[in-house]
Amino acid sequence: MIQNFIDTFLSQASYEMIDGGKRFYAEIKALRGVWATGKTLEECRTNLLSTLEGWLIFRLRNRLTVPHFKVPTRIKSQKQRAYA
């Protein structure tokens, strides 16, 4: 489920060279705020994957909508414990 989501959106990423060809920039336009840079294409892709994972975790923890992603009912119903 999570891997399918990540694979789907990584395949939609667009890449371009910036800084006169010294760096790569990538973004997933369908997911606001998901972008990354890197010195090489591989580093940029790795950074984009990390950004996408963090974006997904943040949205799920804060019960925000995630396009094309269904949270199983048993996960939705779990209550979070608060510690002081």
pLDDT, tens digit (0-9, with 9 covering 90-100), for 32-65: 999 999 999 999 999 999 999 999 999 999 989 8
HSE, side-chain direction, 13 A CA sphere, residue 4 = 5
| pTM (2 d.p.) | 0.79
Percent of the chain scoring above 90 in pLDDT: 70
- Phi-psi group of 2: left, alpha or beta (phi > 0 → left; psi -120 to 50 → alpha; rest → beta): alpha
pLDDT at 68: 72
Q: Domains of the chain by range and CATH?
A: 2-73 (3.30.160.250)
The pLDDT of residue 65 is: 86
pLDDT for 11 equals 96
Average pLDDT value over all residues in the chain: 88
Instruction: Look at residue 80 in the predicted model and tell me its pLDDT.
Output: 63
Give how far Cα 75 sits from Cα of 3, 8, 39, 62, Å: 17, 22, 38, 13
Percent of the chain topping pLDDT 70: 83
